Structure 1
């Protein structure tokens, strides 16, 4: 059975690749972008199966309007994929208030508004699947990506909570957590802080550590996403790429060791 899928940030990268994969197999797609000209090629190829929609997800009213328009156009919403967002590169001390707020507006609040808009529709349907594009950087962190890390940690906490709240309505939630991929996330889509010389060594070490093996091929993710949306029992979390799981295992092993080492102090803090 064909699905109706609403996906944000479909102008490039994962969003456009996945939108085309859904269309290619016969699904209906409402795809949002800040500039819908980027979707013209898909519209020419797939016609009425694609509803291109101009949207800045940081606009709450516009997000609600877009979700409702998609539902009215296609009659239902089976899957909502919150993919819109970008990376802010720079040390935490370098980050301006405007840069910090803009990062959170796009990566956290934009996702929240679209999610809130979809929930009443999915509750009325008695089913639905919300997919939040997080990152391995919502589990572990890298330097000079502090605000991006923080935004993805927020998405993780929000979405894990959401899953427990909406399970009884037949709504499923999945956090997709890619490792690095060769999209333009670190290129034209990225924003950079004004550099401070004090952090040059940190940045040099960060760039030197970026092995080519770290980055996956974004086109290779399509089968995983199709399996995810087709699963009757999708997972709460799904890594994409072969780097994320070994990294997460090491991070959690280190955390557990530290918690165990300080467990007597922690227990004493409980009181009697």
Structure 2
């Protein structure tokens, strides 16, 4: 069955790949980017199926208008994919106030505004699927990526709560948690903090962390059939790792967390009163 999908951040990476795949199989796509001219070639090829929209997801009013525009243009809305966002690299002390606020505006508030804009439409329809681009770094943290970690931990928290709020309204929520992929995540779209020599040793050891080495990165093309299957699934999962690293790493990380909680549980219980 043909789907109508609203997707953010489509100029590069996953967003571009997924938009092209959706259009090729005949779906309708409202595709947003800060510069919709980047979609000119696709718009020419898929005139009836593609609605390109210039959008800054940090502008809540513009987001509400864009989501409603997509609904009015195609007549319905089946899926929203919150893909827009970018990475920030640097130790916590190295990243400036503006850079921190800006990435929260894009990765957290942008996701939130699109989600809030879609919910009234989905509630009225009695159906819908919200797909949030989280990360394995919304499950566990890596030194020098703490600010990015914080944004994705926030997305995980709000999305988990959202799933409980809308489960009886016919609305599904899925958090996609990719490991590293050969996209532009660490390239032109990324922000880097001002280096402080005290953290050079920590940075020099990053390559020893599982999932950080380039050979651990996934092929973005491999996500295409998976995202299409996810969109078509009538009972999609709340969480879904993309790649081979997330599940293995999460098992280790959560085993360590459980052991710490167990070891200190007598102190925790004493704090109950």
After TM superposition, the score normalised by the length of structure 2 is 0.97
1:44 deviates by 2.2
Shift, 1:29, TM fit:
0.2
Q: Which residue number in structure 2 is paired with residue 153 of structure 1?
A: 153
Counterpart in the other structure of 2:40:
40
Distance 1:91 1:212 in 2: 20
Query: What SS does the aligned partner of 2:163 have?
Result: helix
Q: Comparing 262-271 with 71-80, which one deviates more in the overlay?
A: 262-271
Alignment match, 1:242? 244
The offset of 1:195, in angstroms, is 1.0
Give the aligned partner of residue 203 of structure 1: 203
Q: Which residue of 2 aligns with 1:219?
A: 221
**1:111 equivalent in structure 2:** 111
Q: Deviations over 1:90-141 (max 9, x none)?
A: 1101111111111110000000000000000000000000000000000011
- 1:200-243 CA-to-partner distances (Å, cap 9, x unmatched) read 11112224643233200001001110111101100000000011
Distance of 2:214 and 2:198 partners within structure 1: 27
Q: Paired residue for 1:262?
A: 264
Cα distance in 1 between the residues matched to 2:34 and 2:103 = 16
| Cα distance in 1 for residues equivalent to 2:200 and 2:39 | 39
In the TM superposition, residue 30 of structure 1 has moved relative to its aligned partner by 0.3
Counterpart in the other structure of 1:229: 231
In 1, Cα distance between equivalents of 2:40 and 2:90: 34
Per-residue deviation, residues 52-103 of structure 1 (Å, max 9, x unmatched): 0000000000000100000000001100000000001111011111111111
Moved more, 63-72 or 95-104: 95-104
Write the distance in 2 (CA, Å) between the matches of 1:25 and 1:77.
Answer: 17
Q: Which runs of 5+ in 2 are unaligned?
A: none
- Find the residue that maps to 1:187 and give its secondary structure: coil
Number of residue pairs the alignment of both structures matches: 271
Q: Does the residue aligned with 1:168 lie in a helix, a strand or coil? A: coil
- Between the aligned partners of 1:119 and 1:146, the Cα distance in structure 2 is 30
Take 1:144 and 1:23, find their aligned partners in 2: how far apart are those partners?
38
SS at match of 2:47: helix
Distance in 2 between residues matched to 1:124 and 1:245, nearest whole Å: 36
Q: Are positions 1:53 and 2:53 aligned together?
A: yes
In 2, Cα distance between the equivalents of 1:239 and 1:214? 14
Distance 2:41 2:137 in 1: 32
Question: What root-mean-square deviation, in Å, do the aligned CA atoms of Structure 1 and Structure 2 show?
Answer: 0.9
The alpha-carbon deviation at position 196 of structure 1 amounts to 1.0
1:38-187 to 2 correspondence within 5 Å? 38-187=38-187
Question: TM-score if structure 1 supplies the norm length?
Answer: 0.98
CA distance in 2, matches of 1:128, 1:258: 39
3-state secondary structure, aligned to 1:48: coil
